[in-house]
């Protein structure tokens, strides 16, 4: 149980950190490499490059929040730590997008689940996109390395009741289940990973690679948004960026120009395609923003006879892959089963309802269990994913049509989740669906699930995993970067985040991003040194 | 083609008639909605954030500075929240008014962090609901919001929840989500969900809670 705050100490020791809100004059500066984004990809990249002796500038649009700010409070955390103050949605509003916007990116607010990219996914990438060098055996050492760097290991303590109900239901029905590896060190098992770890136990970018980079003389600008990469002939010359005030959202009018030999974009699967599109980076085959993927998530909630206290304890510790690759890698859609934490703000926002119904829903919170299904999109001709494009104001937006292929999987996942909850002893179950009642037995639930319309808005859909849009591949005709994240057309540009995934992956993505970024950064460091 | 940079000014844009908008897509009856904000602006409806309101008469905390909601929006939420939260609101009238006022302030504070794109969509939604013609024709709410009863507000929410038109469902979700999170997520109302709050032993032990 360490109470030593790595960030406070580092700032005191003279780390080169600039809060964009404090800049009063326009600024131009330079480094060997500018890294845009400080999440799983950007943090890893910055640390590896800085350790190899290169000068590095990190740029983060969100602000630097750390232990002093992490007070286990939903409202302030959603407002400050999440994209668009937790209001980000797909273009038609049908899918809520949970994504970090702070130093450390989504790793500062994720629920710590740490999975390797599933082997069938890596093999599919090799077979379909010419990514032979990413086969599971070749990637294994990179996963090993990152598991060590981020202290990832299967959760040792007992799962909380919320997770244990998923385990019990799977046991009863003969479905496989496993324990989730988590990236924590000295975890207090409190349950507040999603609002910024209050104890510094979570070993996301904020506690590992960001301090590692800053210890090695990297410079961090936060509250500074990357607006545009500016080309000079066939190379990127500099990044134009603009500062936000200390509320994190109001532009101050201060501009910063950052020059470098090389630029690494790691601004997320929505932010990175957005930046490349705004910058009009050469894209002869119009691939930027295409084949953007999420894991669409649907959910059920159950009222259990026992107390669940779903707001306490490690939020995710049990999962089931029974249905993830059951139909092969490219058959009908597969889904991973997990559990979300339920705090009152989040619960009241995702369980649709108002008035007396809603207060009754909410009054059951201490006995509430929820199960979620993460659908593995992008492995089938009928699952082309979505598209990131720019709004009139230049900000990126994800258009994500839900195909019949996905709706079939969503209905099936509702069946699976309700069946598991009843098998685990639920008194009643309801779907996250505008038309769902509470069903008191599996027969009624099953009949209702067969009848309910599977339609946008009526089915409540979520995602915390954004992938693709700057796909890697050996063929420049259908990809943006090669298997090392190097841009096909612009030689001093790399992309090091989940946007390079050519499909979704079928698992929570942080370890996949860490591992690929580590591998690609090691190569980049060699190239530039 | 030159893309403009994101406009983060947070100011509602009233001049862009061609934008793809919240309620324009696929709903013929609402085709003119893109112009509602413009019309509302020209006809002298409240379009500026309400700023600091006088405590007297508004029941608001006079020290709170509104950044997004205008006076019409505040009246809208004063009418909707009793239906939205229902029996969760205190019965005693002063406590009830304080609960409503505080929730509206937290809604405003939340929206301030939403950023320009989602603020623009909410501006269109609120203008649609506040502008008399569209309030009647699209939301089918006959009285102006200060005169709407809780039963009428509930009926409106129920129509948008059960509608087969996805855009109305989306409006319902937008209104309930921001209201529910601002209400149930706030410590004064945690007891309604039986949430005991962060574990006390952690609060007592962690440095960020000391000298608070």
Classify residue A286: in a domain, yes or no: no
CA angle B122, B115, B156 (to 5 degrees): 15
Residue B32: what pLDDT? 44
Q: Is A389 exposed, middle or buried (0-12, 13-18, 19+ CB in 10 A)?
A: middle
CB atoms within 10 A of CB A442: 16
pLDDT band at A185 (very low <50, low <70, confident <90, very high): very high
**Token pair 């709050």 is at which residue?**
B197
Q: Half-sphere exposure of residue A203, counting CA atoms within 13 Å on the CB side?
A: 21
Looking at the structure, tell me whether residues A459 and A471 fall in a common domain. no
Is the confidence at residue B44, as pLDDT, over 70? no
Q: Are residues A167 and A146 in the same domain?
A: no
Contact B181 A349 (CB under 8 A): yes
Residue B62 pLDDT > 80 = no
pLDDT > 60? residue B35: no
The two beta strands, A56-59 and A27-36, are parallel
Residues A277 and A346 in one domain: no
ipTM > 0.90 for the complex: yes
Q: Tell me which of A354, A364, A400 to substitute to probe the interface with B (most B C-beta atoms closer than 10 Å).
A: A354
Chain A environment of B178 (Cβ under 8 Å)? 87
Tens digits of residue pLDDT in B138-165: 999 999 999 999 999 999 999 999 999 9
In B, which residues are within 8 Å of A67 by CB distance?
Answer: 207-208
The Cα B193–Cα A360 span in angstroms is: 9
Same-domain pairing of A140 and A26: yes
Provide the chain A residues 145-174 that lie in CB contact (below 8 A) with chain B: none
Give the pLDDT of residue B60: 54
Cβ within 8 Å, pair B166-A80: no
CB spacing of B176 vs A392 below 8 angstroms:
no
> How close does chain B come to A422, measured CA to CA in Å?
23
- Which DSSP category does A116 fall into? P
- Arithmetic mean of pLDDT, A217-230: 98
- Grouping H, G, I as helix, E, B as strand and the rest as coil, residue A240 is strand
| Domain end call among A463, A488, A518 | A463
pLDDT digits (tens, 9 = 90+) for A464-520: 999 999 999 999 999 999 999 999 999 999 999 999 999 999 999 999 999 999 999
Same domain, A231 and A167: no
Is there a single domain that holds both residue A75 and residue A120? yes
Rounded distance between C-alpha atoms, residue A349 and residue A442, angstroms? 26
Tell me whether residues A362 and B4 touch, CB distance under 8 A: no
Q: What is the pLDDT of residue B48?
A: 77
Q: Is the pLDDT of residue B22 over 60?
A: no
Q: Is there a single domain that holds both residue A96 and residue A174?
A: no
Cα(A225)–Cα(B17) distance, rounded to whole angstroms?
Answer: 28
The answer to whether residue A527 scores a pLDDT higher than 60 is: yes
CA dist A259 and A505 (Å) reads 34
| A67:B87 CB<8 A | no
Contact A355, B86 (CB under 8 A): yes
Task: Give the gap in angstroms from C-alpha B4 to the nearest C-alpha of chain A.
Answer: 5
pLDDT mean across residues, chain A: 97
Asked if A133 reaches chain B (Cβ–Cβ under 8 Å), the answer is no
Q: Last residue of some domain: A417, A443, A463?
A: A463
- How many whole angstroms from its chain centre is CA A266? 12
Nearest-neighbour CA in chain B from A451: distance (Å): 15
Instruction: Tell me whether residues B86 and A455 touch, CB distance under 8 A.
Output: no
B contact test, residue of A21, A364, A457, A458 with most B CBs within 10 A = A457
User: Can you tell me the mean pLDDT for A158-173?
Assistant: 98
Here the tokens at position A410 are 């969503």
User: Are residues A457 and A472 located together in one domain of the fold?
Assistant: no
Q: Which residues of B touch A73 (CB under 8 A)?
A: 198
Which domain range does residue A76 map to? 6-154+190-238+245-281+467-528
| pLDDT band at residue B52 using 50, 70 and 90 as cut-offs | low
Asked which of A286-290, A334-338, B34-38, B86-90 is least confident by mean pLDDT, the reply is: B34-38
Q: What is the pLDDT of residue A459?
A: 98
CA distances from A57 to A101, A491, B180, B190 (A): 18, 19, 40, 43
Q: Does residue A148 form part of some domain? A: yes
A358 inside 8 A of chain B by CB: yes
Q: Which of A445, A463, A481 is the last residue of a domain?
A: A463
Residue (of A77, A188, A118, A99) closest to A512 by Cα position: A118
For residues A122 and A512, the answer to whether their CB atoms sit within 8 Å is: no
> What is the domain count for chain A?
2
Is residue A1 included in any domain, yes or no? no
For residue B115, the distance in angstroms to the closest alpha carbon of chain A comes to: 6
The whole-number pLDDT of residue B61 equals 58
pLDDT at B42 over 70: no
Q: Are residues A452 and A476 in the same domain?
A: no
Most distant CA atoms of chain B, gap in Å? 60
In DSSP terms, A154 is beta-bridged to A181
Mean per-residue pLDDT, A81-110 = 97
**Separation of alpha carbons B75 and A192, rounded Å:** 35
| A219 lies in some domain | yes
Is A85 within 8 Å of B113 when comparing Cβ atoms?
yes
Mean pLDDT of chain B: 82
Instruction: For B16, name the nearest residue in chain A, comparing CA atoms only.
Output: A392
> CA triplet A496, A497, A503: central angle to 5 degrees?
120
Per DSSP, the three-state class of A259 is strand
For residue A320, the model assigns a pLDDT of: 98
| A437 contact B CB<8A | no
Q: How many C-beta atoms surround the C-beta of residue A192 within 10 A?
A: 25
Q: Containing H/E element for A512? A: helix A510-528
Q: What is the pLDDT of residue B19?
A: 36
Residue A452 pLDDT > 90, yes or no?
Answer: yes
Q: Minimal Cα–Cα distance from B48 to chain A, Å? A: 17
CATH number at residue A369: 3.30.410
Tell whether A327 and A266 lie within a shared domain.
no
Residues in chain A: 529
The CATH number that applies at residue A40 is 3.50.50.60
Residue A356: its chain B contacts at CB < 8 A? 86-87
Collect contacts of A327-333 with beta carbons under 8 A, ≥24 apart.
A329/A120, A329/A121, A329/A123, A329/A124, A329/A379, A330/A124, A330/A379, A330/A380, A331/A380, A332/A380, A332/A405, A332/A408, A332/A409, A332/A412, A333/A375, A333/A376, A333/A377, A333/A380, A333/A383, A333/A405, A333/A406, A333/A408, A333/A409
pLDDT for the residue B50: 80
Please indicate, yes or no, whether residues A134 and A203 belong to a single structural domain of this protein.
yes
Tens-digit pLDDT profile for residues A225-262: 999 999 999 999 999 999 999 999 999 999 999 999 99
Lowest-confidence pick of A278-282, A297-301, B3-7: B3-7
- Of B3, B180, B208, nearest to A349 by CB-CB distance is B180
B120's tokens: 């623009």
Question: Could you tell me if A144 lies within 8 Å of chain B, comparing CB atoms?
Answer: no
- Do A150 and A275 lie in one domain? The reply is yes
Residue in B4, B174, B202 nearest the CB of A393? B4
Residue A377: closest CA among A414, A416, A330: A330
């Amino acid at each position: 149980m360490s109470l030593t705050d790595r960030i406070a100490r580092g700032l005191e020791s003279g780390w080169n950190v600039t809060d964009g809100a404090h800049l009063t004059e326009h600024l131009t500066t330079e480094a060997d490499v500018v890294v845009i984004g400080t999440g799983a990809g950007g943090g890893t990249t910055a640390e590896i490059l800085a350790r190899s002796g290169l000068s590095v500038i990190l740029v983060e649009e969100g602000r630097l929040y750390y232990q002093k700010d992490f007070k286990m409070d939903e409202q302030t955390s959603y407002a400050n730590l999440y994209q668009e103050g937790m209001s980000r949605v797909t273009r038609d509003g049908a899918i809520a997008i949970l994504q970090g916007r702070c130093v450390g990116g989504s790793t500062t607010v994720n629920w710590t689940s740490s999975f390797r990219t599933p082997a069938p996914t890596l093999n599919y990438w090799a077979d379909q996109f010419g990514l032979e060098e990413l086969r599971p055996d070749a990637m294994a050492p990179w996963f090993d390395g990152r598991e060590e760097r981020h202290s990832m290991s299967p959760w040792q303590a007992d799962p909380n009741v919320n997770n244990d109900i998923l385990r019990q239901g799977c046991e009863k029905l003969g479905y496989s289940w496993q324990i989730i590896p988590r990236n924590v060190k000295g975890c207090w098992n409190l349950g507040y990973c999603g609002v910024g770890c209050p104890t510094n136990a979570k070993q996301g970018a904020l506690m590992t690679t960001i301090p590692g980079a800053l210890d090695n003389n990297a410079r961090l600008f936060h509250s500074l948004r990357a607006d545009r990469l500016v080309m000079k002939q066939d190379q990127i010359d500099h990044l134009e960026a603009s500062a936000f005030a200390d509320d994190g959202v109001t532009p101050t009018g201060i501009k910063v120009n950052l020059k470098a030999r090389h630029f690494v974009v790691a601004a997320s699967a929505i932010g990175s395609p957005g930046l490349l599109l705004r910058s009009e980076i050469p894209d002869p085959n119009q691939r930027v923003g295409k084949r953007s993927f999420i894991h669409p998530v649907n959910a059920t909630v159950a009222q259990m006879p026992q107390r669940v206290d779903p707001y306490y304890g490690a939020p995710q510790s049990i999962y089931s892959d029974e249905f993830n690759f059951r139909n092969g890698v490219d058959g009908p859609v597969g889904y991973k089963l997990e559990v979300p934490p339920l705090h009152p703000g989040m619960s009241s926002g995702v369980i649709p309802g108002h008035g007396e119904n809603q207060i009754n829903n909410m009054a059951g919170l201490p006995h509430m269990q929820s199960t979620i299904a993460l659908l593995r999109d992008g492995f089938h001709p009928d699952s082309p994913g979505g598209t990131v494009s720019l709004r009139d104001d230049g900000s990126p937006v994800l258009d994500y049509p839900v195909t019949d292929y996905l709706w079939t999987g969503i209905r099936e996942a509702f069946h699976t989740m309700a069946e598991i909850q009843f098998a685990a002893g639920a008194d009643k179950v309801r779907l996250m669906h505008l038309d769902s009642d509470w069903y008191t037995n599996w027969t009624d639930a099953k009949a209702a699930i067969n009848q309910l319309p599977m339609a946008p808005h009526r089915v409540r859909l979520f995602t915390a995993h954004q992938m693709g849009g700057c796909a890697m591949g050996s063929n420049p005709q259908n990809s943006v970067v090669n298997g090392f994240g190097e841009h096909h057309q612009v030689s001093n540009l790399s992309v090091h985040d989940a946007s390079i995934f050519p499909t979704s992956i079928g698992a929570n993505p942080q370890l996949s991003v860490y591992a690929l970024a580590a591998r690609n950064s090691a190569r980049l460091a060699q190239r530039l040194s | 083609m030159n893309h403009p940079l994101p406009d983060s000014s947070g100011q509602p844009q009233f001049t862009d008639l061609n934008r793809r908008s919240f309620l324009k897509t696929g709903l013929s009856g609402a085709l003119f909605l893109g112009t509602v904000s413009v019309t509302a602006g020209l006809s002298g409806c409240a379009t500026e954030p309400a700023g600091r309101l006088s405590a007297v008469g508004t029941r608001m905390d006079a020290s709170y500075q509104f950044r997004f909601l205008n006076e019409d929006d505040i009246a809208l939420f004063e009418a909707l929240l009793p239906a939205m939260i229902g029996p969760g609101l205190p019965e005693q009238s002063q406590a009830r008014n304080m609960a409503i006022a505080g929730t509206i302030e937290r809604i405003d504070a939340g929206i301030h962090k939403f950023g320009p794109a989602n603020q623009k969509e909410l501006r269109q939604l609120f203008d649609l609901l506040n502008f008399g013609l569209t309030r009647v024709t699209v939301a089918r709410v006959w009285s102006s919001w200060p005169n709407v009863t809780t039963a009428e507000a509930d009926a409106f929410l129920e129509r948008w929840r059960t509608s087969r038109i996805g855009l109305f469902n989306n409006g319902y979700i937008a209104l309930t989500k921001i209201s529910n999170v601002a209400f149930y997520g706030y410590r004064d109302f945690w007891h309604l969900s039986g949430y005991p709050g962060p574990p006390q032993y952690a609060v007592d032990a962690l440095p960020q809670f000391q000298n608070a």
